[in-house]
Amino acid sequence: MNLFSELENSIQVLYAAINAGFVQDTSVGQQQVGNWYQALSSSNEPAARAVAQELDALNGHIQRNDVGAMGASLQKLADLTSKAVLPLHSFGGVGDKARELSQKLNAAGGNLQIIARQRAAGTAPAH
């Protein structure tokens, strides 16, 4: 499995766990975020360090089960990812895959924002 497939899988696992209200355990999401953080935190690239800092913030939101903040954090990660790969053009499609990942992060973040608003209004669907 390549890096982008792993990241995409992580987004899906994290979103599913959040959408289920972390019925099982918040460590599901935290493990995924921790894997990303570990991979990026030692980088010398400023863009990667910015992503790592936001992943650390996301981990805190997961610990507090703050769905709205998680959504905002995923959207910020989408923006940071998009900016990080802006100059990246290659025949291997790495930049394209990263931009696709950014779109998925943004969509997941937006969906979580909707879930947070529904929960706050008491209109969230039953799990």
Give the model confidence (pLDDT) of 4-60 as tens digits: 566 667 766 766 665 665 445 667 677 878 888 888 888 888 888 898 899 999 999
Is 126 part of any domain? no
Predicted model pTM: 0.77
Q: Tell me what pLDDT residue 1 has.
A: 46
Q: Is it the case that residue 69 has pLDDT exceeding 90?
A: yes
Q: What is the DSSP string of the chain?
A: --HHHHHHHHHHHHHHHHHTTTSS-THHHHHHHHHHHHHHHT-S-HHHHHHHHHHHHHHHHHHTT-HHHHHHHHHHHHHHHHHHTTT---TT-HHHHHHHHHHHHHHHHHHHHHHHHHHHHT-PPP-
Report the chain's terminal Cα–Cα distance, integer Å: 31
Domain range for 18 is 3-121
HSE (side-chain half, CA atoms, 13 Å) at 57: 16
Contact yes or no for 81/102 (Cβ under 8 A): yes
What are the backbone angles phi and psi of residue 8, rounded to the nearest 5°? -60, -45
For the chain, the domain total comes to 1
More confident residue, 98 or 79: 79
pLDDT of the residue at 119: 84
Q: How far apart are CA 110 and CA 106, in angstroms?
A: 6
Q: Which of 41, 40, 50 is nearest to 7 (CA)?
A: 40
pLDDT surpassing 50 at residue 101? yes
Residue 76 or 98, more confident: 76
Q: How much is the mean pLDDT over the chain?
A: 78
Instruction: State the pLDDT confidence band at 73, using cuts at 50, 70 and 90.
Output: very high
